[in-house]
Structure 1
Amino acid sequence: MRIAFDGGSFQQGILGGIHSVAVNFLNACRRLDPTFDVILVLDPRLGPVNPIAMAQLSWEPQTISAGVGPAYQSETRAPVGSSDPGVRLFVDGKLTDPGSNGDSVTYQGPRPEREFVILSRTAMPRDINGSSDLRKLGIAITGIVATDSSKRRSIAFDDRRLHRGYHAAEATFRWTEGSAFVPVEFFADFEDQIRVEITYNKLPIYPLSPGRLSESLESFRRELDALKLEHTTAELGARLKADGCEAYFTNHFIPAKMPQLKRFAWAYDLIPVLFPQFFHPDARQNFDANIEVFRAADRVYTISNSTLVDLAETLNLDRERLRYAGIAADVNIGPRKPDEVLKVLKKFDLQKSEYIIMVSTVEPRKNHLRLLQAYEMLRQRLPKCPKLVMVGQMGWDFQETLNFRDSRGLTADTLMLSNLTVDDLSCLYTGALFSVYPSVYEGFGLPILESMECGTPVLTSNVSSMAEIAADAALTVDPYSAEDISKGMHSLCTDAAMRANLIAKGDRRRQDYTWEKTAEIVLSDMRGLLA
């Protein structure tokens, strides 16, 4: 069997859960059927292939590149906008319009005591010049200089303390994300009145709200885009069929509809539909294209029964075209030896069984804010409260979470980590007292299974797929109640028998989810549909 497979996850800089599914699923299919092969379909606008991602496959499949991702059609459009980045400063609760000479702004007033934030318009280079750069860029800081009547101090653009709201420093500047914080500790020893000059570079244009003319032009462009996409997709489908592919399998990033081939798709969740407030417009646009693929697919494979029900009831899809396949944890995640665990814990100044772990991107849906509220209550109830270790990339709209953590004095006991290796992550799971995952909604909830794989008891939410995956092998709580989350954490902190019981049940539950089971379900079903 040879199919074309959505290779968009192999073009991502951050390899998340969708990529883990792609790699583990494809490798399992290859183990079960050595004749199974894929051509990975790439979209050049997603950037180059990530060699680390490709190296995770057990063989080297052929790749083919074409601009068939519907959500990436508008990257070369010249937006209607302004060359003015609209720099403003938010200082101690007050928004100021600083004086500007085109490449610098100046604040002059009381010494900042609580916050100093650089605000500006933002744009994506992709939308301006058609590049593959998908970052949201504000202004490029080249330097910050603070002065009072007796001293002058420069703050370098690459100072490591500049991290909230900034992209990584480049050779001579550092881009903001449109809302960049300057730590007020920089100004602590200055006089009551202070002058702060910020020098910067800027993008050539920042999109503004469209008017009637731009809306008409946009409508015309959309029609041209649709025709171009239809032609490109048909051409690619013909090439894939000539190369022996019988189907195209969508995996979220490149939801293309190829009439010459059978159409299969992974469905992870309906979160952008059910909780649109948690997503930015570009993510919702890509998901809309996925929904179109679901409606046209010969088969949609769901990662949980919860997702299957959502597809049938929310999108009114025919259940006959839906098939539960399930997924599993990454095969490389599992318990580690005591000496390995202690070595990693020492690196992060942690002690075995003296911390609670949460693994998740920091974004509103994952519920970090309520977790911190619950943790604050737990500290009041437990004299010797375990630390809280939160592992994950900064996603979006995370500022409220960080502000709460800092303002409540939780910083010393809450460790935030990211970019960990699989080995380090497995060691942190293994050494934790328990794992907590109080997300508001999930299509599956891989950290639940990852914890069970490492022999770690789990506390998770009693909603959506998390209740399904946990079954009776985890303690479940109401994710909308910080009090309920805190009570659950208290129970697991103080009840060793409960922890031992959940570890035993978790060990049995994890065996219900293997990549071999998933691959066998999908391969068998695809063979039937392709016969």
Structure 2
Amino acid sequence: MRVLFNGASALRRRTGVGHSAWHLYHALVRLAPQDHIWLYPGVWWHRRLAGFRQAVASPQVSRPVSRLLSAPAPKWLRQWSWQLARGFYAAHFHLAARLGRFDLYHEPNLVPFAVPTPTVVTVHDLSVLLYPQWHPPERVRRHEAAFARGVARAAHILVDSEAVRQEAVRHLGVSPACITTIYCGIAEHFRPASSEAIAALRQRWHLPPRYLLYVGTIEPRKNVLTLLRAYCDLPPTVREHCPLVLGGLWGWKSEPERQFWEEIGQHRGVRYLGYVADEDLPALYSGATALLYPSYYEGFGLPPLEMMACGGAAIISTAASLQEIAGGNAVALDPHDLPAWRKAMERTIREPDWLEDYRRRGPHYAAAFRWDRAAKTVLEVYHRILNRPLSETIDDLTQSQSRQAA
């Protein structure tokens, strides 16, 4: 079986979709070594770009590059450059698909290209369709033009949660038989960090022994402004014992959050770390007093599960997917209820043992979310579409891994 797996979302700095695509691809390769699953545009490109990002991150290079990238450019030039890059990307992808003689194409990032090959599409969420006000206008226009057609062409759709599956049936008019829920996995390095690793990270980021944590891109649906306002409303004597730490890039339409942080938040104990590398997250989670995740809407929500895997406690919103994935192993609050978030923060700071039960049971619960288990279900979908039997070797591997995890 020859599968074209679009890994373009994993080329840039990885957030949720990029991490999911990267880990799923490697799990597929582990479980089906007899098949050819090609990561577009090639592993070589992924390695070269990873090396480039590491080089640019060095202090000698990062400051000049930051100044260059922050220099203003005419709007027409930015739009023209973006359209040119998208056009080249699309042309290159179609050429690769045509020359590769693939049996199946898997698009793990919403909108598939139109290729004459059976297509599997992963729909992580329907926020662009259901809540267009949360997204940049150009993204909404692209989805309006291409998303419905792409879904209609798909031989099968994968979603990250049952909540999104029900939304897809309801709003896309897709038959339930054509949609499969596949939970994301937790990467193996997410486990309770050693005291030495936590101490080293605290020293590097100048973090105190206790801090509240948010991890994720800062964008409207993440509801970070409620988090900022609730924390800044706490009495100074409470805030001084436990800052709020934000780990994630400023995303689209994040101007209100950034302005609040610059004018108020940073003066009241809110620390902004920016993008946190994947290898630093286990120590950041393990050292945190609690993770706060107040999203209005999610397709899955990796950070709360990653926090549980690292032995930490999460306070999440009542968004349907988050409650589904957490399975009662996190405190859930209405994302619109600012006083409830303020009260939960204060209690977390004043009562260190309040969330201890969640910390104890988190690692065992999170261990059930494994990429190999997700990959096995994906392979079952591939083989069902192509009307081919699934290799017994795959069942043997997943059963062995299940016994090891238990």
- Check conservation: 1:263, 1:299, Cα contact below 8 A: yes
Shift of 1:371: 0.3
CA separation of 1:350 and 1:32: change in aligned 2, threshold 3 A: same
- Check conservation: 1:475, 1:488, Cα contact below 8 A: no
- Check conservation: 2:187, 2:370, Cα contact below 8 A: no
1:451 aligns with 307
- Check conservation: 2:106, 2:120, Cα contact below 8 A: yes
**Equivalent AA in structure 1 for residue 66 of structure 2:** A
| Identity across the alignment (%) | 24
Shift of 1:52: 5.9
1:246 aligns with 103
**Equivalent AA in structure 2 for residue 355 of structure 1:** Y
1:439 aligns with 295
CA separation of 1:257 and 1:385: change in aligned 2, threshold 3 A: same
CA separation of 1:7 and 1:498: change in aligned 2, threshold 3 A: same
1:245-284 map, 5 Å: 245-252=102-109, 255-259=112-116, 261-284=117-140
1:250-399 map, 5 Å: 250-252=107-109, 255-259=112-116, 261-288=117-144, 289-352=146-209, 354-379=210-235, 382=238, 385-399=241-255
Shift of 1:293: 2.0
Of Structure 1 and Structure 2, the greater helix share is in 2
1:23-42 map, 5 Å: 23-42=22-41
- Check conservation: 1:250, 1:266, Cα contact below 8 A: yes
Within 2, Cα distance between the matches of 1:231 and 1:9? 17
**Equivalent AA in structure 1 for residue 151 of structure 2:** F
- Check conservation: 2:184, 2:374, Cα contact below 8 A: yes
Within 2, Cα distance between the matches of 1:207 and 1:393? 20
- Check conservation: 1:29, 1:36, Cα contact below 8 A: no
**Equivalent AA in structure 1 for residue 298 of structure 2:** E
Within 2, Cα distance between the matches of 1:366 and 1:377? 19
SS at match of 1:35: coil
SS at match of 1:311: helix
Deviation per CA, 1:211-230: give whole Å up to 9, x if none: xxxxxxxxxxxxxx99x999
Shift of 1:275: 1.1
Shift of 1:18: 1.3
Using the size of structure 1 for normalisation, the TM-score is 0.63
Within 2, Cα distance between the matches of 1:232 and 1:386? 50
CA separation of 1:23 and 1:204: change in aligned 2, threshold 3 A: closer
CA separation of 1:487 and 1:519: change in aligned 2, threshold 3 A: same
CA separation of 1:54 and 1:239: change in aligned 2, threshold 3 A: farther
**Equivalent AA in structure 1 for residue 9 of structure 2:** S
CA separation of 1:439 and 1:381: change in aligned 2, threshold 3 A: farther
Shift of 1:7: 2.6
Question: How many residues align structurally?
Answer: 369
Matched, 1:51 2:47: yes
CA separation of 1:369 and 1:454: change in aligned 2, threshold 3 A: same
Matched, 1:9 2:9: yes
Shift of 1:491: 3.0
- Check conservation: 1:9, 1:253, Cα contact below 8 A: no
Deviation per CA, 1:364-409: give whole Å up to 9, x if none: 2211111011102233683754101000011122222232233336
Shift of 1:268: 0.2
Within 2, Cα distance between the matches of 1:263 and 1:20? 21
1:175 aligns with 71
SS at match of 2:354: helix
Shift of 1:346: 1.5
Gaps of 5+ in 2: 52-62, 80-85, 388-406
Using the size of structure 2 for normalisation, the TM-score is 0.82
SS at match of 2:355: helix
SS at match of 2:275: coil
Within 2, Cα distance between the matches of 1:328 and 1:38? 19
